[in-house]
Amino acid sequence: MARSVIGVIGGSGLYDLPGLEDAHWQRVESPWGEPSDELRFGTIAGRPIVFLPRHGRGHRVSPSDIDYRANIDALKRAGVTDIVSVSAVGSYREDLSPGTFVLVDQFVDRTVRRASSFFGKGCVAHVAFGHPTSPGLMDRLAAAAEAEAIPVVRGGTYVCMEGPQFSTLAESRAYKAQGFDVIGMTNMPEAKLAREAEIPYATVAMVTDYDCWHPDHDHVDVAQVIKVLTDNADKARRLVARFAADFPLEHPPCPVGADHALDFAVMTAPDRRDPALVARLDAVAGRVLGR
């Protein structure tokens, strides 16, 4: 059984994890491109943690420009076995008011210009993705939230838009009518790539606004989002710290098999694989490609 290494991807408003002990920033090279920033290595209660600010320190990288493949590959190279992502979201439900934390369990991908797979011409693979988040991680996040007296809502569908503009009123109403619960711009293809890299993934979504469908609220603006984020950042850090401190030292098997997602996924015959692509897949898929 592998030693647990928790990866934390910090979203808007979360550019560092102040509770990390023995922490240092370190550049991790990836053959897939430029990660959003250096990785912050440290420990919490003796557990190794690797933190990555998704938009880079100072929020320099927009959702469409994030190199999600480089980020996930870098975390995999750093030995990460489990990922918790923290994200700001807009809400489509009256009861999910700003400040609410939601452990989303489903995603709908509406992004249009992002590389969303490590695989492709020369090495084709299809991973199962019916359950895109790990129930094991969500159970532990819910327990950590309870221990810290932070209310969380368990379950919800996150629709990922391309952005960077927020939705039109027509889009917002349509998403609400389709039954989506929250909206953001970053969790896709991040969650898809984590699955391909066999890293169980869960998201703590922090509601910052009602998008623009709500008759009693004006359109979304960044000042409003930042205010809610600032008011809640400390709660998010406490939640992540408690989750990490209580995490098993040995990686617990993922109930939906995310940590073995590639067992039966690769279609391309060994003698027909592109050696250059296979070389780039060394960290993500070395376990099944024999590298």
Ligand X SMILES: Nc1ncnc2[nH]cnc12
**Are the C-beta atoms of residues 205 and 239 closer than 8 Å to each other?**
no
Q: Does 89 bind ligand X (CB under 6 A)?
A: yes
Closer to ligand X by CB, 7 or 13: give it: 13
> Under rule CB under 6 A, how many of the chain's residues touch ligand LNRAV4D5?
12
88 is in an annotated binding site: yes
Task: Single out the segment in contact with ligand X by CB under 6 A; choices: 13-21, 113-121, 206-214, 233-241.
Answer: 206-214
| CB of residue 56 to ligand X, shortest distance in Å | 17
Task: Single out the segment in contact with ligand LNRAV4D5 by CB under 6 A; choices: 20-28, 119-127, 134-142, 179-187.
Answer: 179-187
Instruction: From the candidates 211, 216, 231, 259, give the one annotated as an active-site residue.
Output: 211
Q: Does 11 bind ligand LNRAV4D5 (CB under 6 A)?
A: yes
- Read off the DSSP letter of residue 250: B
Considering only residues 225, 228, 241, 277, which one is a binding residue for ligand LNRAV4D5 as defined by CB under 6 A?
225
Examine the residue annotation and report whether 209 is marked as an active-site residue of this protein. Answer: yes
210 is in an annotated binding site: yes
| Of 197, 175, 195, 192, the residue nearest 184 (C-alpha) | 175
Task: For residue 56, give Cα distances in angstroms to 43, 240, 263.
Answer: 20, 19, 33
Alpha helices in 85-217 (DSSP H): 135-147, 169-177, 187-196
Q: How far apart are CA 52 and CA 16, in angstroms?
A: 8
> Under rule CB under 6 A, how many of the chain's residues touch ligand X?
13
Considering only residues 51, 101, 158, 166, which one is a binding residue for ligand X as defined by CB under 6 A?
166
Q: 233 phi and psi, to 5 degrees?
A: -60, -40
Q: Does 12 bind ligand LNRAV4D5 (CB under 6 A)?
A: yes
Positions in 59-88 near ligand LNRAV4D5 (CB under 6 A): 63, 87-88
**Are the C-beta atoms of residues 290 and 278 closer than 8 Å to each other?**
no
Q: How far apart are CA 54 and CA 199, in angstroms?
A: 17
Q: 285 phi and psi, to 5 degrees?
A: -130, 15
Instruction: From the candidates 105, 209, 234, 259, give the one annotated as an active-site residue.
Output: 209
| Of 87, 201, 202, 212, the residue nearest 155 (C-alpha) | 202
Examine the residue annotation and report whether 211 is marked as an active-site residue of this protein. Answer: yes
Closer to ligand LNRAV4D5 by CB, 162 or 274: give it: 162
| CB of residue 21 to ligand X, shortest distance in Å | 31
Q: How far apart are CA 169 and CA 173, in angstroms?
A: 6
Q: Does 225 bind ligand X (CB under 6 A)?
A: yes
55 is in an annotated binding site: yes
* Rounded-to-5 percentages of helix, strand, coil across the chain: 30, 25, 45
Residue whose Cβ sits closest to ligand X:
90
Question: What is the DSSP annotation of 31-60?
Answer: TTB--SS-EEEEEETTEEEEEEETTTTTT-
Q: How far apart are CA 77 and CA 60, in angstroms?
A: 23
Closer to ligand X by CB, 14 or 183: give it: 183
Residues marked as catalytic = 209, 211
Name the binding residues for substrate: 185, 209-211
Name the binding residues: 12, 54-55, 87-88, 185-186, 209-211
Q: Where along the sequence are the contacts to ligand X (CB under 6 A)?
A: 88-90, 161, 166, 183-185, 208-209, 211, 220, 225
